[in-house]
A and B are shown apart, each in its own frame.
Chain A
Amino acid sequence: MEQYLELSGISKAFPGVQALKDVGFRATGGKVLALLGENGAGKSTLLKILSGDIKPDEGKIVLNGRELSFRSPHDALKSGISVIYQERQLMSAMSVMENIFAGDIPVKNGIVDYKTLKRETKKIIDQFGLPIDPETPVMFLSIAHQQMVEIMKAYRRDSLVIAFDEPTAPLTDTEIEILFNLIRRLKEQGKIILYVSHRLKEIFEVTDEIVVLKDGRFVTHVNTAETNEQDLIKYMVGRDIGDTYANLSRNDKYGDVLLEVNNLTTYAVHDVSFSLRKGEVLGFAGLVGAGRTEVMRAIFGADPIISGEIKLEGKKVEFKTPKDAIDAGIALCPEDRKEQGLVLWRSIEDNIIMPFLDKVRKWPFLDFKKSERVTIEAIKKYDIKTPTIDKIVVELSGGNQQKVILGRWTSSLVNTKLLILDEPTKGIDVGTKAEIYQMVCDLAKEGLGVIFISSELTEVINVADRIIVMKDGTITGEVLREEATEEKVLALAMASN
């Protein structure tokens, strides 16, 4: 008998937004079905409904002919549905094994059977081929490994339906390969797999069918083999955006040297030197953990510098705090939006004006008109999906949260000379990605220096004028865009020195 999961007429409204409207499709066993759509299209909401976390206003979920209704996530798990959320769900102070077996910890005579627990966990970890110790607390793992623990947790439950919500966003190539092998194995076992990602390359690599959502509505259901990128983008965005990279209008006039970093050493990076001219877009490539973020944090005054010097417009600078750096015209858009970027339970407006409180005031009060204007500008510029400017950020979709940070640092309030973007397109949909690339180029034309960090090779080698590659806290090489290929950059990123 063929296994299937059928959704029909699913609707869900949040205050001011219709997140899903009458969505229905059928996923069959042994196939991977991709859910595709712009930021805020309703993908995560749909998966949360599947996991029993959110109750739909209307609609039916049928699994192998049986209609399901969940009162809690527990019910969904029992019915054989596991969802790996966009946001990690681990108990960070608990060990890897306790997380993987959460809810089913083996017990002998009323006490936890640690031996079995450890053995079983080890088995799973070995199947994945990952260097993780079952007894380490999850918080000590890299974000990529935490994500893998999350995946192992779902794998362990052996559910019939497994849904992944942007699983690869925090992963490096190694783990992505492991994940894809796993997905292929699960497919062979006849599982029903749902897969959400904004990376079209992955969609073509690993999925069989694609369902596209737009503004909470079902658009189409196609076979992956019978479609192409251009069509998908058209379905998602509703218009043709053409070849993202070829259409970029770049800056070709560089000014003076803006930033000079000489022999920078911190606790995480060693002897890093590079320079950046006004109007230049400098890419930083490397594997996750190569030390790119740490270099930027040091420049930005967020981490202490052990030795080395930083010159801005030829003058030596020493920033004690990020505030000093901001005052000097540097903006850093951090990679981890939840921990470092946003104050989640405050409004979009509060988050956008946070660094510029000084500039939106009419002594001694905040200038609410101005702050509203600036916020609306950002919302328009990035097409942030929200009903009002005072919606709290935690209620936005993942990609829209990212856009709030971008909106903050590129707002007209900033008098930025150097813009540092650390993984700015994480979780961002294709249409907006293209806009971000163009924005980067436009800022360069205005004479800004831009540093663009990305773990997506294609992106970094196509957007940046020059690419610096890092590994283990040092710079291993530098390539110009004209000569950059993925192989070349990857070789440098993995170079053994």
Chain B
Amino acid sequence: MSRFRKFTQSKSFLLIVLTLIILAIVFIVEPGAYNRGNAAQLMATLSYTGVMLCGIAMLLMSGGFDFSTSAQASVAMLIFAELVRRFPSVPFPIFMLCALVFGVISGSINAFFADGLGLMPFICTIGMSSVWSGLAALYTRGSTIPIRNATFNSIAAQYVFGTPIPWTFVFALVLVLIYSGVVKYTRFGRSILMSGGNPTAARLAGLNPRKIQAMLFINNGVLAAVAGLIWASQQKMGSPTGFSTAGADMTCLTASILGGVSFMGGAGALGGAFLGIILIQVLAYSLQVMGLPNWVITLINGSLLVIAISIDTFNVRRRMKKLGLKTASMGGPRMGMPGMR
């Protein structure tokens, strides 16, 4: 099969085509919808979700997931916003560093539960999500913290030479490229895929699935913090709920699965996942500019997630069948901890 034929049959191709179709429809129905402002805003959203995606997709490949990603992002930016408010004279990059350090800590906590104690990543990160959101709400009493540092606020407003493309989007894109390079071309990437695919076999082959996943939890915490900072710079504030209501981590999950990162761990396609995110955001934006209310968008987002997971589960079943395993014995996707059995 030629390279081109192969590409036309890939998930990425499908995602690109779908995105173009949506764009075309919007263009026909509402020719004036796509103006500079909208495009810039779309890419602003893609900036922080793209960053978050890198963390989430990598974790999925290792067989884990972090439900507390959005909450971590919120707390990280609140920490930043609060520090900037209290100490306006201290250079703000120091506080950005503090936010990242928080990401390391929160990621390590997840890693400790999931990989140290061997709990189900699913469950303990749901717990941590509540903990972080709760703390954020408690501290801020539910209100936002405005950021009055002009330099910081202008970061997200820097555009690439007169185009509507913000530099933050370029940053996200580069990050996606780097991570997908890591997955494809490095030893570490290969270890992630192998230990996500079969932790027991990976351990017997000298890999350390738990350590690998722990690193990815920390990586996810840090990237969540970065995403939080980008959001804060765009919105000029820190918010305890901004991320959770946008459901950014769920969007990333949907996109990853759409793009071919399997729920079962062990499959990697970061580029596809990024295309998935573009599709989801384009869809959401198109609906918004066409004047549909927000709940319709939420509805469609949710449906997409269910569809994506159904497709993935269906694929998993097919694989299980190939292995000669009955699917009834599975009891849902395997999200347990590597190296336990």
**Chain A interfacial positions (CB closer than 8 Å to B):** 85-94, 300, 302, 321-323, 326-327, 332, 334, 338-346, 350, 353-355, 357-358, 361, 364-366, 394-395, 408
Contact = CB atoms under 8 A, between A and B. Distances in A.
A343 B323 contact: no
Given A342-B201, A343-B266, A357-B190, 19 more contacts: A89-B324, A92-B329, A94-B328, A302-B204, A322-B206, A343-B197, A345-B319, A346-B193, A346-B197, A350-B190, A354-B201, A354-B202, A354-B206, A357-B187, A357-B191, A365-B186, A366-B185, A366-B186, A394-B323
B326 interface: yes
B221 to A, nearest CB: 23
Of all A-B residue pairs in the complex, the 5 with the closest CB atoms, nearest first, are A87-B324, A343-B197, A323-B206, A355-B205, A357-B187
15 contacts: A91-B328, A322-B206, A323-B207, A326-B206, A338-B323, A339-B341, A343-B193, A343-B197, A344-B323, A345-B197, A345-B267, A357-B207, A364-B187, A365-B185, A394-B323
A358 B322 contact: no
Contacts of B144: none
A394 B319 CA distance: 8
Contacts of B329: 90-94
Contacts of B331: 93
B187 A322 contact: no
A91 B208 CA distance: 30
B325 interface: yes
A322 B190 CA distance: 18
Given A92-B329, A343-B198, A366-B187, A334 B204 contact: yes
Given A346-B193, A350-B193, A358-B187, A340 B204 contact: yes
A302 B339 CA distance: 10
Interface residues of B, number: 30
B324 A346 contact: no
A85 B202 contact: no
A87 B193 CA distance: 24
Nearest to B319: A345
Given A323-B207, A323-B208, A350 B185 contact: no
Chain A CB count within 10 A is highest, among B191, B194, B198, B204, for B204
A343 B201 contact: yes
Contacts of A92: 329
B203 interface: yes
Contacts of B267: 345
Contacts of B205: 322, 326, 354-355, 408
A163 B257 CA distance: 39
B309 to A, nearest CB: 18
Interface string B174-215: 000000000001110011011001101111111110000000
A297 to B, nearest CB: 9
B87 to A, nearest CB: 39
Contacts of B190: 350, 353-354, 357, 366
Most buried by A among B190, B193, B201, B323: B201
Contacts of B341: 339
A88 B324 CA distance: 6
Contacts of B197: 343-346
Given A355-B205, A358-B187, A89 B198 contact: no
A339 B194 CA distance: 13
Contacts of B200: 339-340
Contacts of A91: 326, 328-329
Contacts of B185: 365-366
A459 B191 CA distance: 36
Contacts of A354: 190, 194, 201-202, 205-207
A355 B331 CA distance: 31
A342 B187 CA distance: 18
Contacts of A322: 203-206
Contacts of B325: 87-89
B201 A86 contact: no
Contacts of A366: 185-187, 190
Contacts of B207: 323, 354-355, 357
B331 to A, nearest CB: 7
B51 to A, nearest CB: 22
A355 B206 contact: yes
A342 B198 contact: yes
A93 B193 CA distance: 27
Specify which of A86, A334, A345 lies most central, judged by the most chain B CB atoms within 10 Å of its CB: A345
